[in-house]
């Protein structure tokens, strides 16, 4: 199932908050956005529908000319990270749209993708959760060894995919169906219940849950209209204040 909305951010760490029933809820704090839409990919031109977003300010000299030209075409400043959100409907999005942390409301389910923490070279007990060998009855210094890894003359080899010691962690992984506890647009923070992959400071990609309930499409036009209304109200107040002295002078 294609996503409906998503955002890039950085994992800041974990803390705890209290819910309405005064129970402690462990949450991961994510500095989500702001992300700017830099390109809309259409089935006619690209073969699929997707929204490309940019995140993370960076110096221009750290990007090459094709990257800078791609960003400047959409009026976006130099950004370090680009990501695509596969969507079915492109109508809510437009080039230049800014996506903030409030794109997700409290109670929504999200999938969080990141590169997990690297643990270096690890044995089979840590890497694959093997139980290890016996601690007595003749076992001699082989307690954490994997044991037999193949047969005898047949097949006379070790099968591909055998679980053995090796690089542990440092892979792209996704944690499914995490609940959004709160989205703070003013500070750009997103509180997600539970743990998410990756170290503190690592890049994370949040999108609506693929296996969760259907999510509503974001409405960026309503936010823009509310900002225009607030500005218009301020202008009206200023005009009314400016008319009062003239009325007073006319009365005199």
Residue finishing a domain among 151, 168, 185: 168
What's the pLDDT tens digit per position in 100-148? Answer: 888 888 889 999 999 999 999 999 999 999 998 888 878 888 899 998 8
Residue finishing a domain among 168, 203, 230: 168
User: Do the domain assignments include residue 198?
Assistant: no
Structural domain that includes position 156: 118-168
Residue 94 in tokens: 């437009």
Q: What own/partner pairs with CB < 8 Å and gap ≥ 24 does 130-136 have?
A: 130/163
User: Do the domain assignments include residue 124?
Assistant: yes
**What is the Cα–Cα distance from 150 to 141, expressed in whole angstroms?**
21
Whether 33 shows a pLDDT value over 70: the answer reads: yes
Whether 200 shows a pLDDT value over 90: the answer reads: yes
User: Do the domain assignments include residue 132?
Assistant: yes
pLDDT-derived band at 244, boundaries 50, 70, 90? very low
What's the pLDDT tens digit per position in 60-96? Answer: 889 999 989 989 888 888 888 999 999 888 888 888 8
Neighbouring CB atoms inside 10 A of 157's CB total 8
**Judging by beta carbons within 10 Å of its beta carbon (0-12, 13-18, 19+), is residue 183 exposed, middle or buried?**
buried
Measured distance between the N- and C-terminal CA atoms of the chain, rounded to whole angstroms: 72
Predicted pLDDT at 216: 78
Predicted pLDDT at 225: 47
User: Do the domain assignments include residue 89?
Assistant: no
Query: How many domains is the chain built from?
Result: 2
Whether 224 shows a pLDDT value over 70: the answer reads: no
DSSP result, the chain: --BS-EEEEEEEEEEEEE-TTS-EEEEEEEEE--EEEEEEE-HHHHSS-EEEEEEEE--GGGS-HHHHHHHHHTTPPPEEEEEEEEBS--TT--TT-EE-GGGS-TT-EEEEEEEPPEEEEE-HHHHH------SSTT--S-TTS----S-BTTB-SPPTT---SEEEE-SEEEEEEEEEEEEETTTTEEEEES--SS-TT-EEEEEE-SSSSPPPPP-HHHHHHHHHHHHHHHHHHHHHHHHHHHHHHHH-
Asked if residue 28 lies in contact with residue 21, where contact means CB atoms within 8 angstroms, the answer is no
Predicted pLDDT at 170: 94
pTM of the prediction?
0.77
Instruction: Please state, for a pLDDT cut of 70, what percent of the chain lies above it.
Output: 87
Residue finishing a domain among 168, 203, 235: 168
């Amino acid at each position: 199932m294609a996503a409906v909305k998503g955002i890039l951010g950085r994992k800041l760490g974990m803390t705890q908050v209290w819910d309405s029933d005064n129970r402690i809820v462990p949450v991961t704090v994510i500095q989500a956005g702001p992300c700017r839409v830099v390109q809309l990919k259409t089935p006619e031109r690209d073969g699929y529908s997707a929204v490309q977003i940019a995140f993370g300010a960076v110096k221009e000299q750290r990007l090459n000319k094709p990257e800078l030209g791609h960003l400047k075409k959409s009026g976006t400043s130099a950004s370090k990270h680009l990501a695509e959100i596969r969507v079915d409907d492109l109508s809510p999005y437009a080039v230049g749209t800014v996506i903030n942390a409030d794109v997700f409301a409290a109670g929504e389910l999200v999938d969080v993708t990141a590169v997990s923490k690297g643990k270096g070279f690890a044995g089979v007990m840590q890497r694959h959760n093997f139980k290890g060998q016996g601690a007595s009855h003749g076992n001699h210094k082989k307690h954490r060894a994997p044991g037999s890894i193949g047969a005898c003359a047949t097949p006379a080899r070790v099968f591909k995919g055998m679980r053995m010691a090796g690089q542990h962690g440092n892979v792209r992984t996704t944690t499914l169906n995490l609940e959004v506890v709160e989205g703070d647009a003013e500070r750009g923070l997103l509180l997600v219940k539970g743990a998410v992959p990756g170290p503190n400071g690592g890049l994370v990609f949040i999108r609506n849950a693929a296996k969760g309930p259907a999510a509503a499409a974001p409405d960026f036009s309503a936010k823009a209209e509310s900002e225009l209304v607030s500005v218009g109200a301020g202008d009206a107040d200023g005009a009314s204040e400016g008319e009062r002295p003239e009325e007073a002078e006319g009365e005199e």
